């Protein structure tokens, strides 16, 4: 539930940030409500990340691999995480110049919607299960 809540909250927050940034970019005046929306949306995005994707991805990736592959699987997951984070960080400004700053947040919000749907349908809940039960859960889904 925390992963779904966090990712859905991030999606809503990113859409709010996109809306605020788009309004500020296209307006000669800078109304306080749009600035406030951006500030609140950034804080909400960070907060939802902190209860969802932030901690959950590390815990989940260490739980889902079978014991014999846990170290390699977790290492690969962390490497991919860092690679994607680097790509997003390095391309953010270039892409936002092409599609506008607000547009970039709309895209990221859309990515979070897709991620939330993926999490809901493909990542089973592991709360309260032993590592052996989790391993059996994923083996059952493979067969």
Q: Could you state, in order of their start, the residue ranges of all structural domains in the chain?
A: 2-142
Q: Using an 8 Å Cβ cutoff, are 26 and 50 in contact?
A: no
Averaged pLDDT, 60-68: 86
pLDDT value at position 31?
A: 93
pLDDT value at position 66?
A: 85
pLDDT of residue 143 exceeding 80: no
pLDDT value at position 136?
A: 84
pLDDT band for position 1 (cuts 50, 70, 90)? confident
Give pLDDT tens digits for 90-129: 999 999 999 999 999 999 999 999 999 999 999 888 888 8
pLDDT value at position 83?
A: 96
pLDDT band for position 87 (cuts 50, 70, 90)? very high
- Average model confidence (pLDDT) across the chain: 92
Specify the CATH superfamily of domain 2-142. Answer: MFS general substrate transporter like domains (1.20.1250.20)
User: Which three-class secondary structure string do you get for the chain?
Assistant: CHHHHHHHHHHHHHHHHHHHHHHHHHCCCCCHHHHHHHHHHHHHHHHHHHHCHHHHHHHHHHHHCCHHHHHHHHHHHHHHHHHHHHHHHHHHHHHHHHHCHHHHHHHHHHHHHHHHHHHHHHCCCCCCCCHHHHHHHHHHHHC
More confident of the two residues 22 and 131: 22
């Amino acid at each position: 539930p925390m992963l779904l809540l966090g990712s859905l909250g991030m999606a809503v927050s990113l859409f709010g940030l996109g809306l605020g940034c788009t309004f500020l970019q296209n307006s000669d005046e800078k109304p306080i409500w749009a600035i406030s929306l951006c500030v609140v949306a950034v804080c909400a995005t960070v907060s939802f990340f902190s209860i969802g994707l932030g901690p959950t991805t590390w815990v989940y990736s260490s739980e889902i691999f079978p014991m014999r592959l846990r170290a390699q699987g977790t290492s690969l997951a962390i490497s991919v995480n860092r690679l994607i984070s680097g790509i997003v960080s390095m391309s953010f400004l270039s892409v936002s110049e092409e599609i506008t700053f607000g547009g970039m947040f709309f895209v990221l919000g859309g990515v979070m919607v897709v991620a939330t749907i993926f999490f809901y349908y493909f990542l089973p809940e592991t709360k309260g299960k032993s590592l052996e039960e989790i391993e059996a859960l994923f083996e059952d889904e493979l067969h």
